[in-house]
Amino acid sequence: MRLPVGWGDFLDRLTIQELKAERLPDGESRDAAARQLARMHAILDEHGGIADRLRASLAELRAVNASLWETESAVRQARLALDEYARDKDLFRFCELARNILAGNERRAALKNAIDNAMGVAGENKHY
């Protein structure tokens, strides 16, 4: 099955699958991520040179997604702490983490658009 997506979205999804294959606990979800990643790498291989051409953008996109992964995990932990006992410092930390997610997602959208522009295709415009 082929889906019409821009290279920015495809490479974004690829880096997320890499993170899942590395970071999810062993089991069905991790195995599914590894299988999906293998299929995505096969598609990437069909378009030789794309990964090399976009190596810097791909590395930065992976770093942004890794940071978002860690921040979102911290938000989940902070939310549990807030649910258990709300304290001002916990609320401040929760808000700080939420702002970091917004900034990370804005950077991620900019990287995806830059990749699409480098590949000569129209990217998706995000509106917040």
Half-sphere exposure of 105 (CA within 13 A, CB side): 12
Query: Average of pLDDT values for 101-107?
Result: 92
- Which pLDDT score, from 0 to 100, does residue 113 have? 92
Higher pLDDT, 125 or 69: 69
- Which pLDDT score, from 0 to 100, does residue 89 have? 73
Q: Is 120 exposed, middle or buried (0-12, 13-18, 19+ CB in 10 A)?
A: exposed
- Which pLDDT score, from 0 to 100, does residue 67 have? 96
Higher pLDDT, 52 or 17: 17
- Which pLDDT score, from 0 to 100, does residue 86 have? 65
- Which pLDDT score, from 0 to 100, does residue 17 have? 95
Specify whether the CB–CB gap between 18 and 38 falls below 8 A. Answer: no
Specify whether the CB–CB gap between 113 and 124 falls below 8 A. Answer: yes
What element of type H or E holds 73? helix 55-84
CB atoms within 10 A of CB 96: 13
Q: How confident is the model at residue 106 (pLDDT cuts 50, 70, 90)?
A: very high
d(CA 65, CA 109): 11
CB atoms within 10 A of CB 102: 10
Q: How confident is the model at residue 9 (pLDDT cuts 50, 70, 90)?
A: very high
What element of type H or E holds 103? helix 88-118
Q: How confident is the model at residue 84 (pLDDT cuts 50, 70, 90)?
A: low
